[in-house]
Structure 1
């Protein structure tokens, strides 16, 4: 069960429409939303870099429909239809990664270019977050200036605050007694189907290791077959023990426990900034 990674400047997910993220996906984006905002961020970054004397070609937004192969929430839940058709999407991602690695041509970085783009490590703003962690933001980086241009000057503080709150909700959700009971039942169901795992992430990690270790096409195909079988058993057992419903109910409780009046205001402000950016 995965927490949101603090420090991510451009959050993205490739989730199905019926997603289950804290705070109604406040710090998560659908594929279409991510493509729309990425266009703005890339253009704003290019403008900032040009003002500093560098050419920054904006990356083209990825085309095509959203991927149906990703889990629809950070808890490892998976619907049966997706599982049977796409598995976890691990093998295709590994194949694409290998192709990109083979095609990439390494170039020596220009220190001045990198400094303009990602900022000076000595000029950073440190944000204290609700979960006790910190986030650092390069104050003078063009990527930071781009986020401010697209979302507003207070975006980073709001985003990292709500991201930390989301992590707190996820942690509280997965340790909820009802979720622990449902996951134990899921593990027993999975064992009867011939798979061993304590949590949904266990199966994904095992498939990931096999995919990364596969040395040739026959080995990759064998992993792909194993992935489909594991994902189908996983989703079927989740359905049988109603793991998704247990998590939904627990997440609702966790959200109420986590928010105070200030955090509610931060959440509402972040949602407004996000929607304004997406509406452009």
Structure 2
């Protein structure tokens, strides 16, 4: 669903720790949420976040509900591709899974597949081929109308808005039970990164780990000061190469990055610090966080019920 945001802190600052990229796929990344499957004590209750596999289940159910909603309104709709478990590992601050790096590099195969979907998936090509007025009607049925929106103030400042109606809104209402509440708590919880990421970047534990990682990379013949430098230079490093050559080059570099991240514990350090600082920040938003996780568990249960029908 289309959303509009006005934020006061540079997204680039957040991305340099959280994901080394914007959420080009739109998906939340590893460090935007607590460790998967762990129980987290908030507001006197034990709740847990979804595993990545469970997130995939919910996302697939959402697409199916959107399809049914569009069909009821007389429109054709093809569920959009849902990011796989492997794809959701792409974009982390540092690659430290050597096997994943050997197979995917920095996720270029996912980038190529996503670009192909944007060009040729029927959920894109079909509405684009409709006459103008029919295209407008289709888009309003799917995305709703920005004349009637849910608006949320973000913890770091600014606002984000999304249409109150439309098939995406209906699907999320059916999954989460209360779409306005879901949108509010989701944007609040996932919008906390500007409040704590700058502190992580300044933490001496991360600074020390990055320096150790950089020394390791230099020794392996890859002179980079930080994982973020690789992300910034990623495209220029493979400029002029075809897709196969670019993927091979990135796999080689990603494997070196992952091996050094393991040797220096950079990935572990970054995740630990993210958990530590995020937990402190969440203390001021414990009610929203508990509701966020509870609603996600509700969505998972409903997704599985829909699937079994």
Q: TM-score range by the shorter chain?
A: 0.7 to 0.9
Q: Is 1:116 equivalent to 2:141 in the alignment?
A: yes
Deviations 1:152-176 (A, max 9, x none): 2111111111101245344433332
Aligned counterpart, 1:96:
113
Contact 1:44 1:146 in 2 (8 A): yes
Return the match for 1:67 from 77, 80, 86: 86
Aligned counterpart, 2:266:
243
The aligned runs of 1:4-15 (5 Å cut-off) are 11=27
Matched residue SS, 2:157: coil
Q: How many residues align?
A: 265
Q: Is 1:157 equivalent to 2:184 in the alignment?
A: yes
How far has the Cα of 1:148 moved from its partner? 1.5
How far has the Cα of 1:82 moved from its partner? 2.3
How far has the Cα of 1:58 moved from its partner? 4.5
Distance 1:129 1:274 in 2: 20
Which sits farther off after the overlay, 240-249 or 179-188?
240-249
Return the match for 1:33 from 20, 40, 54: 54
Return the match for 2:75 from 26, 30, 55: 55
Q: 1:251 to 1:94 in 2, by over 3 A?
A: closer
Return the match for 2:100 from 82, 86, 89: 82
Which sits farther off after the overlay, 202-211 or 76-85?
202-211
Deviations 1:187-235 (A, max 9, x none): 2321232223332133244334555x556xxx32322221122112111
How far has the Cα of 1:48 moved from its partner? 3.7
Aligned counterpart, 2:9:
none
Deviations 1:70-128 (A, max 9, x none): 34x732232223223432222x2344356546746552461111122112222222200
Q: 1:144 to 1:9 in 2, by over 3 A?
A: farther
Uncovered stretches (5+) of structure 1, i.e. residues with no partner? 14-18
Contact 2:33 2:190 in 1 (8 A): no
The aligned runs of 1:12-23 (5 Å cut-off) are 22-23=33-34
Distance 2:24 2:286 in 1: 22
Distance 1:7 1:207 in 2: 16
Uncovered stretches (5+) of structure 2, i.e. residues with no partner? 1-15, 37-47, 303-309
Q: Which has the higher contact order (CA 8 A, sep 6+)?
A: 2
Question: Normalising by structure 1, what TM-score?
Answer: 0.77
Contact 1:88 1:231 in 2 (8 A): yes
Superposed CA RMSD:
3.5
Q: Is 1:196 equivalent to 2:223 in the alignment?
A: yes
Distance 2:253 2:278 in 1: 31
